[in-house]
Amino acid sequence: MTKIFVFPGQGSQKVGMGAELFREFPQEVAFADAILGYSIEELCLKDSEKRLHRTEFTQPALFVVNALAYLHAVERNGTRPDFAAGHSLGEYNALFAAGAFDFITGLRLVQRRGQLMGRADGGTMAAVVGLSPEQVEQCLRVGGNDEVDIASLNAPEQTVISGAASAFERVEAALTAAGAREVVRLRVSAAFHSRYMKKAEAEFASFLSQFEFSSLDFPVVSNLHAALYAPDQIHACLAGQISKPVRWTETIQLLARQPEPVFEELGPSKLLTPLIKSTVKRTGGV
């Protein structure tokens, strides 16, 4: 059996997340409060100031909850996984789990990432259901490829697009005409994982250069390449991930080829689990 931990990213946050974890790990909670300058427990459990869905708050909150969920799982099971992967922000938790950096460093990284990505505005994203990535790409070429990119390849028939809000009406029309069952706008303020994140990517690359990362204790799959991390790739992959698509389908196909793979999603929700099941069922891991 191959044990595989996966961690969700932005979009999985919800008020009340982590309620069972904060008391279990008071030291990590105290570290988070000191670094962030606010109560992570209040943000996650009450969100009295309505900040949880703002990118600069969402990303640190998810990193903390995912990290605590991982620590809980290791204490519960007594063993670590054989592989790990994370969707977008969740990749930081996969790298934390594998020992690339400690909890404090990881939190500082995602805090800065969230700040930089949260500054961008004017873009939008949508999940396209019922078309293959190739069909979506064709629609973008017809309907506005100069302004909209593929942001995430989530499953064989679920692709997320990202770009200028002004182009989405004609892109949606092209997708619907091609047979998309749904084109669902996402609750985001910017065009993540697209060309519009290039400035944030450059600034984050400069920030990352201040850090040194440790070798991994077990393999982690990169969003950027859908391949196992090489020892010297962490800086480049984490920077490039901001403006490039999340290759989640290929990631799951790679992991599904391991002997008797067992996936476990750790975090505040189970958004990745149906995507994994869909990918494995439709492709057989090939």
- Catalytic amino acids? 88, 193
Token pair belonging to 213: 């990362």
- In angstroms and rounded to an integer, the radius of gyration of the C-alpha atoms of the chain is 18
Residue 18: count of CB within 10 angstroms of its CB: 25
Report the interhelical angle of 103-119 vs 90-97 (nearest 10°): 170
Residue 269 phi/psi, 5-degree rounding, is -150, 180
Measured CA angle at 232 (ends 230, 238), to 5 deg? 85
- Rounded CA gap, 37 and 256, in Å? 41
CB 94 within 8 A of CB 84: yes
